[in-house]
Amino acid sequence: MDIQLLFFAAVKDHFPDLKKIEVSEGDSIVHLRKILTNTNPDSESILKVSRFAVNQSIVGDDFVLREGSVVAVLPPSSGG
């Protein structure tokens, strides 16, 4: 099944063209982290400290993805 991806700030530098990705039924954020790290090993350190949001709500590592989920990868914030 496909999910949509949104990348921001420093994470965007690692996955500029990746807007969609295929995951398996039952895959969670942990699996997505692994898939993204395998896609681009240089992203490992920033992914480790990034939060994930699904449909604009922050979720934990065990959140299970669904078809069409909009997943935002949020590196550490630095507003203010």
The residues binding another protein (CB under 8 A) are: 6, 8-10, 13, 49, 51, 53, 56, 72, 74-80
State the chain's maximal CA–CA distance in angstroms.
39
Q: Whose Cβ is closer to another protein: residue 32's or residue 72's?
A: 72
Separation CA 2–CA 66 (nearest Å): 8
Q: Whose Cβ is closer to another protein: residue 1's or residue 49's?
A: 49
Q: Whose Cβ is closer to another protein: residue 1's or residue 58's?
A: 58
